[in-house]
Every structure is written in C-alpha cells, then in structure tokens.
Structure 1
Amino acid sequence: MPESETFRIPKHRRHVPGARQQVGKALADWGVTEPLAGSVILLANELVTNAVAHCRIPYAQVEVKLTLHDAQLLLEVSDPDRLRLPRLRDSAPDDEGGRGLALVAALADAWGCRQDPYTKCVWAVFALTETEKALVPAAL
C-alpha cells in the first residue's frame, strides 16, 4: 500500500520554507535519506516557489503531495491557475531566474504537468535505488 502525504499552503512566498520543511519531515518519517531526500526537497522548493510566483488566482492555495509506492517517489505540486502551464526555457548565464524546471528535468527521473478539472499539477518522479529501497521500511 502506498504512503502518501498531502498538505496545502497559502500562495505566498513566506510559506515556501514551511512547505520545504514538511516535505523533509515526510521523507524522514518514511526513512528516505540523502542524496534522494535532498533532491526531492530541492525540487519541492522549486515547484512550490514557481506555483507561488506564477499562479494568478487571488487567495489561492498550493497543494503538495508526496507518494511513496513500490520503487518510486512521486512529488506533485498543484495550483488553481490551470490554464498557465509551465514550460522549460533556456536561460542566459546572467538571468536571475528561469532555471527551476531545468533543475527538475536534471534531478528527477521523469517530470511533466497536467491539467486537472480545477487545477494544474507539475509532477516529478524519482526512482529508488536498491540501496534506498532497502532503507525504506518494508511496511511502506
């Protein structure tokens, strides 16, 4: 049976660190360690920051969902601005931003986005190595 953790934060930059901490706590509770935990926390931070920065729906909430099932970990970040899908772009060396999705593409085994009926979701999948699978309790 998969383990899952879902929470929501208000669409405001000051809540991004709290989301990062909640992701880290869920991973620690499941026994997910470095280097995978660091990658998941970093990408959760990037995706939540993108949702907070680019969602144009007032008073929105950003939902973060982690699912650990079999040999993979799924990170999903959703917001209600379903018509504004993110896109990977090339950033110049002196650009201050625009590298978040490139980081997601580099660190996740797969990623993408989808439009749900009332939200859009950006997701990233991480395959657990044999070592990581051995560290996660068998009950998960």
Structure 2
Amino acid sequence: MPEPTTFRIPKHPRSVPEARAQVRKALADWGLPPELAADVALVATEFVTNSVRHCEVTFSLVEVTLSLQDGQLLLEVSDPDKEKTPAPRTAGQHDENGRGLAVIAALTNQWGYDVRRFTKCAWATFPLPEVAPACSG
C-alpha cells in the first residue's frame, strides 16, 4: 500500500490548478484508474477552491492529503480558518456558485469536516476498485 501523500499550496486562486495536478499525479503514481482519479481531482478542486475563497487567515497554506485506509481512498483538505466550515446551500438557477458541495456529495462515499486543534479539515472518501484475480492459463 502506498504511503500517504501530503502537499501544501498557497491560499491563492492560481494554486487551485496546481493542487488538481498534484492530486492527479499522486493517484497515477499509485496506479489508480483514471475515472477514480478524475473524481478525486474534481472533489479536491472543490475543497481547495472553498479554502481559497473562504479562509480569512492571511498568508495561509492549504494542505492536501491523500491516503488509502480500510479499502477506501481518503482525501483531506485543511486550512487554518476553523470558523468557516463547509455548509451546503441551495443554489438558484442563475447562481454561479453554491453547487460544489452537491457535486462532492454525488462523487464520494461520504464527506464531512472536522475542526482540529489548529485547522479545519474537509474530507471525503471514495471506494477503491476491486482488483480482479489474475487469470491462470
């Protein structure tokens, strides 16, 4: 089983594509299917975007961790603003924002957040694909 992967990026909008690329690379290095990697990268993008947009701690970093636990992939995105927690809302038909957490709910087994000692951590779990037994010939 691969070791967890953790990286930090500046809390800035131009860091979001970098986070998505690093998630995709880590999952490709682990040999996970491209479909799963695309879903995890999209959820990571949503969580990182929320941290960038809502964290009010100046000059902070956003931390992204990927790990495999109990047959699932765990994605964690942390920032130091413990006051701004994720809250689903209903987006109007013409609203440009407000659908990210609905997308996250649709793509994950489960998602939530924890307030930790120094950070708030949004997390999501994804099922790992079954590995087909090798065919014997």
Q: TM-score, normalised by structure 2?
A: 0.92
| 2:97 counterpart residue number | 97
Give the AA of the match of 1:24: R
Pairing of 1:1-140 with structure 2 (within 5 A):
3-131=3-131
Task: Please list the CA deviations of residues 13-57 of structure 1 after superposition, one character each: whole Å capped at 9, or x if unmatched.
Answer: 011111111000000000011211110011111110110010000
Output the amino acid matched with 2:37.
Answer: A
The structure 1 segments of at least 4 consecutive aligned residues displaced by more than 6 Å after TM superposition are: none
SS at match of 1:3: coil
TM-align CA RMSD: 1.7
The one-letter code of the counterpart of 1:72 is Q
Percent identity reads 56
Assess if the C-alpha contact under 8 Å between 1:46 and 1:100 holds in 2.
Answer: yes
Could you report, residue by residue, the CA deviation over 1:59-118 in whole angstroms, capped at 9, with x for unpaired residues?
010000000234110000000001111101111111000111111111000000010011
Other structure's SS at 1:114 match: strand
SS at match of 2:4: strand
| Distance in 2 of aligned mates of 1:7 and 1:113 | 19
Contact 1:113 1:120 in 2 (8 A): yes
Q: Choose between structure 1 and 2 for higher RCO, CA contacts under 8 A separated by at least 6 residues.
A: 1
Amino acid at match of 1:57: V
Structure 2 CA distance for aligned equivalents of residues 110 and 2 of structure 1? 22
Q: Which runs of no fewer than 5 residues in structure 1 stay unpaired? A: 135-140
Larger radius of gyration: 2
TM-score when scaled to structure 1? 0.90
